[in-house]
């Protein structure tokens, strides 16, 4: 009778661990809190308790890099009804080996397709109900591409499992945070790295045309880091060449990871 199973009534986080150190834990815990608050689930643990649970789990893990998958559901009820009262949340945590792609692997470039964003109006909640994302993932598999880039009324929102960046004339454009995208922890790090690499930052609407005429297109997520996209809907971006800005931002991101 767990509402996570019955209704997808829960939220989750994916947190990378590099060399045994949880990367940007506070930021992930803050986003988790936002997701929980949005759907009125009480956080079962304090920040200190989360830290100690994760430390204990990681002590049992091999040395290699890990990704922590953490899910909290509203808990098990006695009757299958949509309305809820206070329940004891269910917590599930899983560690998986994390093997980020090397720079030379990334330099081969990745392909994507663009599709209408038919998700709901609360994409800022990292919800476990992921039907739309599963449908996009299967489309990506069938088209043999890395990601499905989404648009609402011709404006790019984000990827099905990533944030999207367009670089043109030394400016990085990305959709503003809000209810139409998940505010990626990696997104913030990419913006920080891009600032460091002297790119101008513009959090604004990007049109589909601007994507096709971009100098560079990237996607980002905690497990993919920052990845160059060189072909979208069978059209090459910048003649299929990897951009120099991506290379600089990738290097700075690696420095942040290893700091
Ligand atoms: N947007 C969506 C829809 C996602 O599912 C994800 C990650 O899974 C992201 C953005 C990137 O978020 P983060 O960088 O925190 O992994």
Residue that terminates a domain, selected from 70, 97, 124: 97
Q: Which residue has the tokens 């919800």?
A: 127
Give the model's confidence band at 63: pLDDT under 50 very low, under 70 low, under 90 confident, else very high: confident
Q: Which atom of ligand 1 is nearest to the CA of 158?
A: 1
249/165 Cα distance (integer angstroms)? 12
- Mean pLDDT, all residues of the chain: 97
Same domain, 146 and 32: no
* Boundary (domain end) residue, out of 97, 112, 131: 97
Task: Check residue 239 and report its DSSP letter.
Answer: G
Residue 134: what pLDDT? Answer: 98
- Residue 183 Cβ inside 6 Å of ligand 1? The answer reads no
On whether both 15 and 131 belong to a single domain, the answer is no
Centre of ligand 1 from the C-alpha of residue 174, in Å: 14
Best probe residue, ligand 1, of 11, 219, 222, 253 (max atoms within 8 Å of C-beta): 222
60 Cβ contact partners less than 8 Å away, ≥ 6 residues apart: none
Regarding whether 107 and 85 lie in a shared domain, the answer is no
pLDDT for 250 equals: 98
Q: Mark whether 107 and 84 lie in a shared domain.
A: no
Which domain-ending residue is among 97, 130, 152? 97
Both 140 and 210 in one domain: the answer is yes
Q: Which residues, at least 6 apart from 238, have a Cβ–Cβ distance to it below 8 Å?
A: 214, 215, 216, 230
**pLDDT band at 176; cut points 50, 70, 90:** very high
Q: Are residues 187 and 216 in the same domain?
A: yes
Q: Whose CA is nearest to atom 8 of ligand 1?
A: 161
Same structural domain for residues 123 and 188? Answer: yes
Q: What is the pLDDT of residue 98?
A: 96
pLDDT of residue 20: 92
205, 176: one domain: yes
pLDDT in tens, 7-27: 999 999 999 999 999 999 999
C-alpha 200 – ligand 1 centre gap (Å): 23
How many domains would you assign to the chain? 2
Verify that 79 and 150 share a domain, yes or no: no
89 Cα–ligand 1 center, Å: 23
Residue 64's pLDDT is 84
Spatial CB neighbours of 84, under 8 Å, sequence gap ≥ 6: 3, 9, 74, 77
Cα distance between residue 232 and residue 148, in whole Å: 9
185 CB less than 6 Å from ligand 1?
A: yes
Residues 205 and 221 in one domain: yes
Nearest to 30 by CA among 15, 16, 9: 15
Range of the domain at 199: 103-257
Burial pattern 181-203, b for ≥16 Cβ within 10 A else e, equals: bbbbbbbebbbebbeebebeeee
Residue 21 bears catalytic tag: no
Residue pLDDT, tens place only, 86-130 = 999 999 999 999 999 999 999 999 999 999 999 999 999 999 999
């Amino acid at each position: 009778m767990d509402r996570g199973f019955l209704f997808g009534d829960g939220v989750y986080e994916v947190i990378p661990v590099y060399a045994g150190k949880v990367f940007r834990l506070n930021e992930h815990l803050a986003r988790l809190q936002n997701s929980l608050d949005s759907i009125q689930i009480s956080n079962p643990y304090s920040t200190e308790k989360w830290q100690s649970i994760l430390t204990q789990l990681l002590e049992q893990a091999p040395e290699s890099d890990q990704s922590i998958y953490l899910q909290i559901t509203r808990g098990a009820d006695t009757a299958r009804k949509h309305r809820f009262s206070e329940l004891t949340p269910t917590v599930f945590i899983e560690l998986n080996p994390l093997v980020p792609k090397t720079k030379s692997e990334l330099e081969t470039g990745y392909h994507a397709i663009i599709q209408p964003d038919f998700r709901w109006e609360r994409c800022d909640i990292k919800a476990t109900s992921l039907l739309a994302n599963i449908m996009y993932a299967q489309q990506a598999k069938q088209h043999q591409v890395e990601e499905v880039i989404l648009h609402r009324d011709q404006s790019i929102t984000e990827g099905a499992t990533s944030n999207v960046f367009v670089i043109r004339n030394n400016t990085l454009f990305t959709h503003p945070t809000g209810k139409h995208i998940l505010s990626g922890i990696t997104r913030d790090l990419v913006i920080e790295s891009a600032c460091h690499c002297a790119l101008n930052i513009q959090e604004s609407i990007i049109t589909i045309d601007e994507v096709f005429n971009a100098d560079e297109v990237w996607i980002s997520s905690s497990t993919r880091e920052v990845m160059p996209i060189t072909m979208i809907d069978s059209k090459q971006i910048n003649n299929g060449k990897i951009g120099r800005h991506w290379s600089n931002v990738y290097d700075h991101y690696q420095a942040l990871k290893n700091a």
